[in-house]
Amino acid sequence: AVISVSPLCSLRFVKSCTWHYTQLFILLSPTKKGGMMNRTITVLILTATVLFSSPAMTLSRNEPVALLIQSKGKVMYSPDGITWKNVRRNRFLFEGWHVKTASDGSCKLINQQTGMIETVEVNTHVKIFAKATKAVMGMISTPEPASDFMSLLKRKFAKVQKYSAIKRHSKYKARAELETVRKITLSRDYPDLVWENAGSEYSYRLVIGKNIFDIPASDNDMIRFPLNRMPSGPSDYYVQLIRNGEIAYTPEKKGRIHWMSDAEIKEFREEETRIRETDPAGFLLGNFMDDRGLKVAAMDLYRKFIAENPDANEMRPFLIKIFGDLKLRTLKDAEMAVYHGQSK
C-alpha cells in the first residue's frame, strides 16, 4: 500500500483495506456441513465477491488479482516461477505470479475481477492473471460463481474503512482526561476491561453501577482489569483518574458493559467451537468476537495472530481497528507505524 496524506494516496490505502477486510472472512472449511456452517461459508465466499466487485476495487499494478485460500498439503507460490515459497496461510496473489501443488497439495483461488472460485488440484502448476487462471501443468476445476446473497457484510466493511485515514495526535494534554470504550460485552470466559494508561502518576477508580474498584498506577500502555461475575445484562460504567488521592478527572458520559447471560454463553460457545474448527489460526474467531462486542477477546486473538505471523502485514488493519474501538491510542499509533513501515 502507498500511504500519504494526499487524497490520491489515501484512496489507495482505502483500496488496500478492502483487500485486508476480505482476507479475514475467507478462512473456509469445505468439509463442514450443517445449516450454521453452510451459512458461515456462504457469507465468507460472498464477502470476497462483494468487495472484489466494488467500484473502489478497480485494478492497479500494485493490487492483488487473486486470493489463495484453503491450502492443504504442500502448496507453493512464486512471483517469477523460479523462486518458490511454501504457503502457510491465506495469501494474496499478483498478476503473473505462480502457484504449484505437490502430490498431496490443493488450494482454492478467488479471482478479484470475476469473483469466480476455482480449485487447484494436486500436481498442478498455474499462472495468475487478472481475468483468469492459466494451467501450465496439471488441472484446475471449472470456475464457479458465488451466489449474489451478500449484503450482510457491507456495513462492516464501511465501518472498517474509517480506520484507514492517517491521523496525527497531539501528545500534549491541557488537562487530565481519559477516554474508554463506549459499549463492550464481557463474560465469565472473557471478563477483562481495558483502557489507555493516562500516565504512571495516575491510579484509577472503576465505577460499575454501585460497585467501585480501585486500580493501582502502572507503567504499561494499557490498563487491564478482570471483573468477577456480574449480573447479566447491561450496566453503566465509567473510569475516574486519581492523582495523589484526589479525583483528577471524571468523564461526562458513561459507557455500557453488557455481561452475557448463561443462555447467551451457551449459544456463543457453540458458535465459537464451530469457528475454531473452521479457522484454527484464530483470525475468523477474532472477527466473530468483534461482531459480538467482545472487543478485548478480539484484540487478544488478533495480537496472537500477528505475533505468530509477523509477515502478515495485510492483517494489521484489523488489529488497528480494534485498538481504535477500545480507545487505545498509543497502541493503535504504534501498530499504524509498523504497518506503514512494512508497506513501503
pLDDT of residue 63: 64
The pLDDT tens digits of the residues spanning 71-108 come to 899 999 999 999 999 998 777 788 999 999 999 999 98
**What pLDDT, on the 0 to 100 scale, is given for residue 103?**
97
What is the CA 102 to chain-centroid distance, rounded?
31
Look up cell 465466499; give the residue.
45
Taken as a whole, the chain contains a residue count of: 344
Give the per-residue pLDDT at 30.
44
Q: What is the pLDDT of residue 154?
A: 36
Q: What is the DSSP string of 116-180?
A: EEEEE-TT-EEEE-SS-EEEEES-BPPPEEPPS--GGGHHHHHHHHGGGS--------SS-----
- The per-residue pLDDT for 172 is 44
**pLDDT value, residue 326:** 97
Q: At what angle do helices 283-291 and 295-308 cross, to 10 degrees?
A: 160
Q: What are phi and psi of 252, to 5 degrees?
A: -75, -30
pLDDT value for 282: 75
Residues of the chain with pLDDT under 70: 1-63, 146-175, 278-279, 281, 343-344
pLDDT given for residue 167 in this prediction? 55
